[in-house]
Amino acid sequence: MTRLILAATGCVIAAASSAQTNASFASPNFDRWNYPFNFSAGTRTAASTFSSGNVPGMFDDRDAQFLNSFITAAQIAPGLGTSNYIITSAVATATVTGGEFSYDNVYNEGSSIDLFGTGFRNGLNAFAYGDDFAWGFGDPTSEDLRNAYATDNAGGSLRDVSNNIRDGFTPTPFAVGNIIGETAGTTVTGSGQVVEFTLDLNNPDVVSYLQNALNEGIVSLSVTSLHLADQTGQGMFPVFGTNEGGSPMTLDLTVEIVPAPASMALLGLGGLAAIRRRR
């Protein structure tokens, strides 16, 4: 138990001690190959990430994305207020189950595997979208249509990064994947490699996204890459395991929870003003 002393009044108010929580999620509650021509949403055993090849007016640049949503409420109490979640570590992993692709462990449009948050359109959120809601409403070859999209939460705004090539900006991933046991700048083949994403907690946009997510009770992350695929679905790009395939994404969080002191919450600003007036 800590104490908060109001020097002006001599009052001592009890404040709840902060508590550190190590939360580990062995699999997401919802995962999905977030691709317009996925006709088995939420049940596929694998999910690939690739670029459409930047066809003008057709498909998002980050055409195939991999959505993973972890309900955190059972391990980290939601609804405490965003600033009361002090995140000290956040690491996710994904498992390669196929494909052949170029690999870099720093941001590279064509060879890095990028982790972002997830934004939602049309009044949806991570709970409502789940893993089997409609990909989008309208022509699936259209741009800017997907209901769930990768976001870098730029400046605290859920910016859709799905078409960053078209729109001429460089997004800031929450993390760039590091493949354990592989050398950057090489071609990765085979399966079983673990891609580790250490989220950048020095980036306030990452922190604010995670704080909001924990307050809501669900963290939704999107794996993307700009590995090139042609219109026949061929190309060199990574394939990842899903819940249904037995190699799901994981998430580990270390969070210090700082609840608002109950007596301070009851006192409120008006109460503090009254104390000052009684001096």
What is the pLDDT at residue 18? 73
d(CA 269, CA 279): 16
For 141, the domain range is: 19-259
Statement to judge: residues 76 and 137 lie in one domain: yes
Residue 224: other Cβ atoms inside 10 A: 29
What is the pLDDT at residue 17? 61
List pLDDT tens digits, range 50-80: 998 878 889 999 999 999 999 999 999 999 9
CA angle 222, 39, 127 (to 5 degrees): 45
Structural tokens at position 250 = 């994981």
What is the pLDDT at residue 259? 73
**How many separate domains does the chain show?**
2
What is the pLDDT at residue 123? 97
Statement to judge: residues 54 and 116 lie in one domain: yes
Statement to judge: residues 40 and 24 lie in one domain: yes
Statement to judge: residues 75 and 31 lie in one domain: yes
Statement to judge: residues 6 and 105 lie in one domain: no
Statement to judge: residues 266 and 139 lie in one domain: no
Low-confidence spans in the chain with pLDDT less than 70: 1-17, 231-233, 260-279
Flag whether the pTM goes above 0.85. Answer: yes
Statement to judge: residues 83 and 221 lie in one domain: yes
Statement to judge: residues 197 and 105 lie in one domain: yes
Statement to judge: residues 12 and 125 lie in one domain: no
